[in-house]
């Protein structure tokens, strides 16, 4: 094998993908176990899917789909020695956990204003890198974030923090300081309600301080003067890649 060709849809460097594949120039291309190479790649939490192909006479082709992190959490975990440690995890929209990418593995660094919503109230003992988290609350928060990015509220507010520690609801805080409460499903309906309330209060010269969208009728809303609410900081739009399934 004279060449290992790498293609990815994300930010991982070709060198780290080649290293994770466990294949090397000079290996016998025909004797190479392609399923083992695929398995080595997909064992890495940042990689969602890998395709491995022989291109005769001398090339191994690796095509990788990366996980796209949409939220982050900081948790405290108990160690076997009785001590505790703090750890940071990212989640993709499907609930798979991963540690933030080492900057040496990236082709580019995140933009300064490219921040992820923070999930608070996540139980650290329930997280394992490369595995889907089972928490109903966390999975609901990830669906909310995913749908928010395609909702009528994009550009008018953003989700800075989501508290997943309360049963049956999610409490989101925007970077402008508003607190918005959601039930765990029908986010499209709740986000449309938020936009209707937002528009009405803008016409009145007011901004939302708190709103409970988990209640379908007579939604409780507390307001402040619109000029007292911070303006949303501009953010780069985050393109949503089609998530491929490993079948």
User: What is the SS3 assignment for 168?
Assistant: coil
Cα(202)–Cα(119) distance, integer angstroms? 29
Per-residue confidence (pLDDT) for residue 77, from 0 to 100 = 80
Per-residue confidence (pLDDT) for residue 79, from 0 to 100 = 78
Positive or negative: CA dihedral 176, 179, 185, 190: negative
Cα(28)–Cα(52) distance, integer angstroms? 15
Instruction: Give every CB contact of residue 74 below 8 A, 6+ residues apart in sequence.
Output: 86, 87, 88, 118
- Helix, strand, coil tally for the chain in percent (to 5): 25, 35, 45
**Contact criterion met (CB below 8 Å) for 109 and 131:** no
Which positions of the chain have pLDDT values less than 70? 112-113, 226-247
User: What is the SS3 assignment for 149?
Assistant: coil
Alpha helices in the chain (DSSP H): 14-21, 34-42, 136-148, 187-203
For the chain, the domains span 3-66, 69-228
Number of neighbours of residue 85 by Cβ within 10 angstroms: 10
pLDDT tens per residue, range 27-49: 999 999 999 999 999 999 999 99
Q: What is the CATH T-level fold of the domain 69-228, as seen in this structure?
A: Rossmann fold (3.40.50)
Number of neighbours of residue 114 by Cβ within 10 angstroms: 10
**Contact criterion met (CB below 8 Å) for 88 and 100:** yes
- Angle in degrees, 0-180, between the axes of helices 136-148 and 187-203, rounded to the nearest 10: 50
Per the prediction, the chain carries an average pLDDT of: 89
**Contact criterion met (CB below 8 Å) for 162 and 179:** no
Query: In which residue are the tokens 């956990």 written?
Result: 97
pLDDT tens per residue, range 210-237: 999 999 877 788 878 766 556 555 454 4
Q: What's the pTM value of the predicted model, to 2 decimals?
A: 0.86
* Residue 205, phi-psi category: left (phi > 0), alpha (psi -120 to 50), beta (remainder): left
Cα(21)–Cα(37) distance, integer angstroms? 5
Tokens of 89: 């995890």
Query: Which architecture, in CATH terms, is 3-66?
Result: Roll (3.10)
């Amino acid at each position: 094998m004279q060449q290992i060709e790498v293609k990815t849809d994300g930010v991982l460097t070709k060198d780290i993908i080649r290293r994770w594949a466990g294949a090397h120039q000079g290996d016998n291309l025909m004797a190479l176990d392609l399923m083992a190479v695929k398995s080595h790649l997909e064992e890495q939490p940042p990689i969602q899917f890998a395709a491995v192909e022989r291109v005769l006479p001398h090339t191994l082709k690796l095509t990788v789909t990366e996980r796209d992190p949409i939220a982050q959490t900081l948790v405290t975990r108990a160690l076997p020695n009785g001590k505790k440690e703090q750890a940071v995890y990212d989640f993709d929209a499907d609930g798979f956990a991963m540690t933030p990418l080492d900057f040496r593995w990236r082709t580019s660094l995140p933009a300064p204003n490219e921040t992820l919503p923070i999930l608070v109230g996540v139980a650290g003992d329930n997280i394992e890198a490369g595995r889907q988290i089972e928490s109903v609350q966390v999975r609901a928060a990830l669906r909310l974030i995913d749908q928010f990015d395609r909702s009528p509220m994009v550009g008018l507010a953003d989700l800075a923090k989501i508290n997943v520690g309360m049963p049956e609801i999610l409490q989101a805080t925007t970077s402008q300081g508003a607190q918005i409460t959601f039930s765990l499903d029908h986010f499209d309906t709740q986000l449309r309600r938020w936009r209707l309330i937002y528009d009405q209060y803008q016409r009145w010269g007011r901004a939302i301080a708190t709103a409970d969208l988990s209640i379908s009728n007579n939604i409780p809303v507390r307001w402040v003067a619109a000029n007292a609410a911070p303006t949303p900081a501009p953010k780069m739009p985050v393109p949503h890649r089609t998530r491929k399934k490993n079948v």
